[in-house]
Amino acid sequence: MPKTVIHWFRRDLRLTDNTALHSAKKDADQVVPVYVLSDWKNSHGWTGPNRQQFLCGNLESLAKNIAAIGSRLIIRCGKADVELERLVHETQAGAVYFNRDYDPCGRAMEAKIAALCTRLGIECNGFDDSVMHAPETVLTGSGQPYRVYTPYSKNWLNLDKTAPLPRVTSLGAEAEEKVMSLPPPTLAHWDLPAPTAQILASGERAARDRMKHFIDGGILKGYSANRNTPAGQTTSLLSQDLRYGLIGIRDLYHRCAQIEKGSTYIKELAWREFYFAILWFYPEVFEHEFNPDWRGLPWPGTDAAFQRWSTGTTGFPIVDAGMRQLLQTGLMHNRLRMITAMFLTKDLHCDWRMGEAFFMQQLVDGENASNNGGWQWSAGTGADAAPYFRVQNPWLQSARFDPAGEFIKKWVPELKDVPAPLLHEPPKPGLPLAKGYPLPMVDHHTERDRCLAIFAKHKAERS
C-alpha cells in the first residue's frame, strides 16, 4: 500500500465511526485530510447562510480535532477534482479515500475523481458511510429498486447492521508546510450575509452531546408517542448532524437499538435511506414528479401567495408558527414540514419545487433526498406519497398536535393571549384572531375542492 494517501472529507466531518478515514489510516503511514470548498455563488442556489454558517463551524471544529492528533486539515476552494490533483502532486499521495455521496452532483464528482486517479495511476477508494445500507443493496426479490417504503423498510430492518468503527487517533505526520491551506472559512468567503437564524452548536462534540441527550435523556423512549407534538423537544434534533456526518449512522443506530430494536425512530432512519435510494435510482425527481402520471400538472398558485407562506403571514396559526420556526432557527419540526408543505401545494396551489428550493435555502439540515421526498410526498406526486385526495386540514392538524397552542404561541407571539380553542378554527368573517395578525388568506374547504378538481382534470386528460 502507498505510504501517503489523501482522505477527502465531504459529508463526514468527524473522526469517530468514519469508514473511509479509518480505512485510510489502516492502509497508510500518512493520511492527508482535505476539504474542498465549493464556490457557493456558482452552485445551484439552494444553499443559504444558515447552512453555510453551520458548515463553517463544523470545519473549524474538525480542524481543531485534527490538530489535536498531530495533523493538519488542508482546506482548498474550487473544483474538487482540480484541487485533489494538485494535492496528489504536492504530497506524492498514492491513493484518494472518500465516503460516497448519493445525489447526482456527488456521483458526478466521484466519477471525475475515479477518472483522475486512473489517469494518475493511483488508487481510488470510495466507501459507503452516511447510510447503513447503500441503495444498491436493498432491492426487491427480482433485483429492482423499491418504490414503496413499507416493503423497503422490512428488508432494511432485516439486514445485518455493521458495527461502528473506533475513533481515529492518529493520521501520521502532518503534511509539509509548503502544502497550502486556507483557514476555516467564514461567511465572508462566499460574500454572504449573517444567518437569520440562531444556529445550533456545531462540531462533532456538540453533535455527540445531542445524541447522548436524545438517547439517555428519555426522548428516544418517548419518541413513538410524542414525535408529532411540536412543542418542546420530542424529536432527536440530530438531522443536521447526520447531514454533515458529525455523528456516524452506525453509532447512532446501535445506540438506539440497544434500547429498542425496530423502534419508530429507527424506522425513521430507514425512511431517510429510502429517499436516498429513490434519488439514487431516479435522479430525475429533482426536476420532475416521481409519479409520471402527475408530470405536467398545473400549479396556478401566485407569487403573492408564496410570499405570504414564506414569511409566515398566512393567517393559519399552525402554518405561520412552522414557517417562523424555520426562519428563526433554520430547523422545523417534521410534522410542521408536512403541514406547511401540504398547505403550500394543496391550499395555495404553488409548485412543490418552489417550496423545496425555499426549504433548502433556509434549513440547516437541508438534505436533497429527504427534502425532495418530503415535498413530493406532501404534494401527492412522489414515491409512496399521500394520495392527491388526501388534503390535511390545518385547523384540525393544530387541534390534534398542538391543542394547548403552546407551539403556536411561542412562534406567533401576536396570538399569545388568544384562548387555545380559537387557534384551531377559522375566525369569524372580518374578525382577526388578534390585533396585527392577518385573517386567513384562503378558505381551506374551498381550496381543497379546487385542488381535487385540478388533480382530477389532469388525471382525466392523461387517461
pLDDT over 70 (residue 81): yes
Total Cβ atoms within 10 A of residue 111: 11
Measured distance CA(379)–CA(351) in Å, rounded? 9
pLDDT cut 90: percent of the chain above it: 89
pLDDT over 70 (residue 45): no
CA quadruple 156, 162, 165, 171: dihedral sign: negative
Measured distance CA(351)–CA(346) in Å, rounded? 10
- Mean local confidence (pLDDT), 196-216: 95
CATH architecture of 292-456: Orthogonal Bundle (1.10)
User: What are the φ and ψ backbone dihedral angles of 98, each rounded to 5 degrees?
Assistant: -160, 160
Kindly report, residue by residue over 386-419, the tens digit of the pLDDT: 788 889 999 999 999 999 999 999 999 999 999 9
Cβ atoms of 363 and 326 within 8 Å: the answer is yes
pLDDT value of residue 44:
47
Measured distance CA(398)–CA(377) in Å, rounded? 20
What CA–CA distances, in Å, run from 275 to 57, 245, 422, 453? Answer: 27, 17, 38, 29
Q: Which residues pair with 303 in a beta bridge?
A: none
Kindly report, residue by residue over 93-121, the tens digit of the pLDDT: 999 999 999 999 999 999 999 999 999 99
Q: Which CATH number fits domain 131-165+204-281: 1.25.40.80, 1.20.1560.10, 3.30.1490.20, 3.90.470.20?
A: 1.25.40.80
Measured distance CA(367)–CA(309) in Å, rounded? 21
Query: Strand, helix or coil at 355?
Result: helix
Nearest Cα to 133, choosing from 108, 158, 151? 158
Q: Which helix (H) or strand (E) holds 453?
A: helix 444-462
Residue 40 designated active-site: no
Residue 177's pLDDT band, with cuts at 50, 70 and 90, is confident
Catalytic residue among 40, 309, 375, 411: 375
pLDDT cut 70: percent of the chain above it: 98
pLDDT value of residue 385:
76
The one-character DSSP state at 247 is: S
Catalytic residue among 8, 40, 271, 294: 271
- Identical fold for domains 131-165+204-281 and 292-456, yes or no, is no
pLDDT over 70 (residue 43): no
Query: Strand, helix or coil at 192?
Result: coil
User: What are the φ and ψ backbone dihedral angles of 111, each rounded to 5 degrees?
Assistant: -65, -40
**Residues 193-198: contacts with CB under 8 Å, at least 24 apart:** 193/49, 194/49, 194/53, 195/48, 195/49, 195/50, 195/52, 195/53, 195/330, 196/49, 196/50, 196/327, 196/328, 197/50, 197/327, 197/328, 197/329, 197/330, 197/331, 197/362, 197/364, 198/328, 198/329, 198/330
Kindly report, residue by residue over 49-79, the tens digit of the pLDDT: 899 899 999 999 999 999 999 999 999 999 9
Listed in sequence order, the residues at least 6 apart from 154 whose beta carbon sits closer than 8 Å to its beta carbon are none
Catalytic residue among 8, 352, 377, 411: 352
Catalytic residue among 299, 395, 406, 447: 299
Q: Which helix (H) or strand (E) holds 36?
A: strand 30-37
pLDDT over 70 (residue 42): no
Cβ atoms of 415 and 336 within 8 Å: the answer is no
Residue 190 designated active-site: no
- Mean local confidence (pLDDT), 321-329: 98
Residue 299 designated active-site: yes
Measured distance CA(226)–CA(232) in Å, rounded? 10
Nearest Cα to 283, choosing from 156, 101, 143? 101
CATH code, 4-129: 3.40.50.620
Q: Where are the alpha helices (DSSP H) in 236-345?
A: 239-243, 249-259, 264-281, 303-310, 317-329, 334-342
Catalytic residue among 125, 334, 406, 414: 334
pLDDT value of residue 41:
52
pLDDT over 70 (residue 192): yes
Residue 8 designated active-site: no
pLDDT value of residue 389:
87
Catalytic residue among 123, 260, 268, 414: 268
Measured distance CA(18)–CA(3) in Å, rounded? 20
Cβ atoms of 57 and 192 within 8 Å: the answer is no
Residue 352 designated active-site: yes
pLDDT value of residue 195:
84
pLDDT over 80 (residue 39): no
Residue 268 designated active-site: yes
Q: Which helix (H) or strand (E) holds 207?
A: helix 204-216
Residue 1's pLDDT band, with cuts at 50, 70 and 90, is low
Residue 324's pLDDT band, with cuts at 50, 70 and 90, is very high
What CA–CA distances, in Å, run from 429 to 305, 347, 348? Answer: 20, 19, 20
**Domain segments of the chain as ranges:** 4-129, 131-165+204-281, 292-456
Pull the grid cell for residue 173.
Answer: 505526520
Measured distance CA(142)–CA(155) in Å, rounded? 13
Arithmetic mean of pLDDT over the chain: 95
pLDDT value of residue 261:
81
The one-character DSSP state at 283 is: G
pLDDT value of residue 57:
95
